[in-house]
Chains A and B, each alone.
Chain A
């Protein structure tokens, strides 16, 4: 069975600082994909970044990077230079081969001016 764990219900970060949101996963499938989504209060789920299980390098997309440690089964999201607009709910998710995206319980990030 697949499982995604986000242990931080809420995080605070000072504007312009970096923040790491934790995510661990569990699956017996050797091939899987890991995703991070941002959900502002408006409700839309915004795709941020993707990491494949066979990718050798950590994924980066602008201010977002994914710290992928396969042996530890962790896929932490790092947001650099936080902005006020980064305040939102962040979900880690995993997909295997069945068109099903398993989501963690989310972390609410608040950026403090």
Chain B
């Protein structure tokens, strides 16, 4: 089945220690997104890639970076995690054909815990 895969499902890191979360997709979608969702809140978009074009949200901290080496994979790097970065990180994809008004398909998420 075509899907969005996130690894690991749970990640524990130490305060200030760089961490990378990964996302892969078998849907062959052009657009990949990273969302941050803190407890009992709505998901918040951090950035997205339209093919190789990177689009950063204005209020995304510099501590968060992303890489998309190919169509299938996208990584979220947190350079120096703080306690406030503990959250669920959701990866999503969309076809990229309908000018942004299209369904996004989400992976299962990675829960990040910062000690």
Contacts and interface: CB of A to CB of B under 8 A. Distances in A.
B42 A105 contact: yes
B4 to A, nearest CB: 9
Contacts of A101: 33, 43, 45, 92, 104
B76 interface: no
Interface residues of B, number: 28
Contacts of A91: 42-43
Given A33-B101, A52-B101, A99-B55, A45 B90 contact: yes
B66 interface: no
A90 to B, nearest CB: 11
B102 A33 contact: yes
Contacts of A106: 42
Contacts of A96: 100-101
A35 interface: yes
Contact of B102 (A37, A44, A46, A95): A95
Interface stretch (B13-21, B67-75, B77-85, B106-114): B106-114
A12 interface: no
Given A99-B48, A99-B55, A45 B101 contact: no
A43 interface: yes
Interface string A72-113: 000000000000000000010001111111011110000000
The 3 closest A-B pairs by CB, nearest first: A33-B101, A103-B42, A45-B106
Given A105-B41, A105-B42, 12 more contacts: A33-B102, A35-B103, A44-B108, A45-B106, A47-B104, A95-B100, A100-B45, A100-B100, A101-B33, A103-B42, A104-B42, A106-B42
Interface of A: 31-33, 35, 37, 42-47, 50, 52, 91, 95-101, 103-106
